[in-house]
Amino acid sequence: MASRALKPSDAAWLYIEKRDKPVHVASLATFSLPEGAGPGFLADLVAEWRARPFYAPPFNLRLRPGLTSVILPSWQELKPDEIDLDYHLRHSALPKPGGERELGILVSRLHSNPLDRTRPLWECHIIEGLENGRFAIYTKVHHSQIDGMGGMRLLSRFLSPDPAARGLPPPWEVGLAGGGKKVEDGAVDQGSLIEKLVVLGKDQFRSGVDALKALGKLALEARRGGEGDGPAIPYGAPDSILNGKIRGKRRFATQHYELERIKRVAKAAGVTVNDVFLGLCSASLRRYLDEMGELPKKPLTASVPVSVRPADDASVGNAITTIFVNLHSDIADPVERLKAIATSSAPAKERLQSMSRGAIDNYTLILMTPYMVQLMLGLGAMSRPMNNLVISNVPGPQRKLYFNGASLDQIYPVSLLFDGQALNITVLSYDGQFNLGFTGDRDALPHMQRIAVYTGEALLEAEKALGL
């Protein structure tokens, strides 16, 4: 069987996974039935999908068994008859009234369960019974195989902008279009190999120097950071209830707003859309923690993943790096807080934009390796937190999409958590919407849904303060 070696940055997600700390990411898409759809629409859809056992990467990839793969994991490409589609494709129904609460409870439960490593690392759940004639599709894939931008490209490939399109393929038939490089046998010309190694060595040296320069700038920022007024730095976050040891059970909540509202706030405040998103998260967390008597005096720090995936890259795996942002949760005024976030995040953005892709890869590896080792050793909640939470912005399709005539109404990201990271907030823009997914540890964050509700109230507060 063909096999595909994992990059170290992808293999790390396998190393840190524990049974009660699963490392998969997911999407929750809600649809409205097409006009005139009969009562058997979803049953027919499930039957049609079960009749299409054709797989593209990563949906046909399983971890190669054996002791060697524990240390140096690789993917094993399976034939269609080696994949049990009935296991991966599930059909569920919500209890009445089939509202957002019932859907959130089901998704929280589904997201708490780890993927089976003896099979391809994915599940797809078709969920019927949503109120107003709607249904949902919850799809989860291991994070070693896909990142946010990869997921969005997959989405745009198996849905259609044409409401009349029919016979569209299921996601596992489409895949990520390309996959990783196969590990193939065969002789290699020695002279050619040496030349390639020399060129690779020079590129790595230059990239390594650029990465070290960027880390040097980060160290200087750390010395100038004082008590939290300047740019955020790794391991400079205050201790908080967001950074304790987590367990396996999850809570999931959602919010969605018109993207135009976010853009109006950004324009009025003279900041970016992403700055507004960070500001809403900061305001919500400030209020939530303050109500619990747990708001740190020092401002919270967010780790913000940034995609470095080229436009034509559809490979299996991840292409992301991380910047750290000061959320200025110590500032009470909403507009002042928003402008402070924009100002303090600028150096991190500039540093990233000045680096090559190779330098970014090395920078990310050097920066994140100590933290990943901590997680592998189970020490993620026993040292000073690297940051307080992860806040991510994933750009999605900006036009209306359909599946066999069913309208895609909203799509929400469902993310992963670690020890010392009890909350993840990810936003996904789609067709003029700003869709937020809140993934939290069930035990560490009581009444987590309040964080979601407070972001909406923070948006109203910002609009009012800016005269909108």
Tell me how far apart the alpha carbons of residues 292 and 445 are, in angstroms, rounded to a whole number: 10
Tell me how far apart the alpha carbons of residues 4 and 161 are, in angstroms, rounded to a whole number: 33
Q: At 440, which helix (H) or strand (E)?
A: strand 433-441
CB atoms within 10 A of CB 311: 7
Contact between 447 and 253 under an 8 Å Cβ cutoff? The reply is no
Judged by DSSP in three states, 413 sits in strand
Tell me how far apart the alpha carbons of residues 295 and 461 are, in angstroms, rounded to a whole number: 20
Instruction: Provide mean pLDDT across the span 424-440.
Output: 96
Radius of gyration (C-alpha) of the chain in whole angstroms = 23
The single residue listed with the structure tokens 């960070």 is 278
Judged by DSSP in three states, 355 sits in coil
CB atoms within 10 A of CB 295: 19
Q: Provide the token pair at 213.
A: 């320069």
Q: Provide the token pair at 402.
A: 């359909």
Helices (H), 84-235: 85-88, 100-112, 148-158, 171-174, 190-224
Q: At 8, which helix (H) or strand (E)?
A: helix 8-15
pLDDT of residue 1: 54
Highest-pLDDT range among 212-221, 254-263, 318-327, 363-372: 254-263
Write out pLDDT tens, residues 261-308.
999 999 999 999 999 999 999 999 999 999 999 999 999 999 988 866
Lowest mean pLDDT among 67-76, 324-333, 390-399: 67-76
405 contact partners, CB below 8 Å, separation of at least 6: 34, 35, 37, 163, 164, 165, 166
**216-233 b/e (C-beta count within 10 Å ≥ 16 → b):** ebbeebeeebeebebbbb
Contact between 400 and 432 under an 8 Å Cβ cutoff? The reply is no
Can you list the domains of the chain with their CATH numbers?
3-174 (3.30.559.10), 201-392+438-465 (3.30.559)
386 contact partners, CB below 8 Å, separation of at least 6: 234, 235, 237, 303, 371, 420
Q: Which amino acid is at 367?
A: L
Write out pLDDT tens, residues 74-133.
999 999 999 999 999 999 999 988 999 999 999 999 999 999 999 999 999 999 999 988
> Of 112, 359, 137, nearest to 250 (Cα)?
112
pLDDT of residue 235: 82
Kindly tell me the sign of the dihedral angle through the C-alpha atoms of 456, 457, 463, 468. positive
Tell me how far apart the alpha carbons of residues 449 and 147 are, in angstroms, rounded to a whole number: 25
Lowest mean pLDDT among 178-192, 232-246, 264-278, 418-432: 178-192
Q: Is 143 a catalytic residue?
A: yes
Q: How far is CA 309 from the centre of its chain?
A: 14
- Please, what is the average pLDDT of the chain? 84
Q: Which amino acid is at 384?
A: R
Q: Provide the token pair at 205.
A: 């040296």
Write out pLDDT tens, residues 228-239.
556 778 888 999
Q: How is 253-293 classified by DSSP, letter by letter?
A: EEEEEEHHHHHHHHHHHTS-HHHHHHHHHHHHHHHHHHHTT
> Of 286, 278, 284, nearest to 304 (Cα)?
278
User: Would you tell me the crossing angle of helices 334-353 and 190-224 to the nearest 10 degrees?
Assistant: 150
Q: Is 50 exceeded by the pLDDT of residue 430?
A: yes
Task: Please tell me what DSSP assigns to residue 128.
Answer: E
Kindly tell me the sign of the dihedral angle through the C-alpha atoms of 173, 163, 428, 256. negative
Catalytic residue chosen out of the listed positions 88, 111, 125, 143: 143
**Residue 426 region, left (φ>0) first, then alpha (ψ -120 to 50), else beta?**
beta
Contact between 394 and 428 under an 8 Å Cβ cutoff? The reply is yes
Write out pLDDT tens, residues 14-27.
988 988 889 999 99
Q: Provide the token pair at 267.
A: 């324009």
Q: How is 175-188 classified by DSSP, letter by letter?
A: TTSS---B---S--
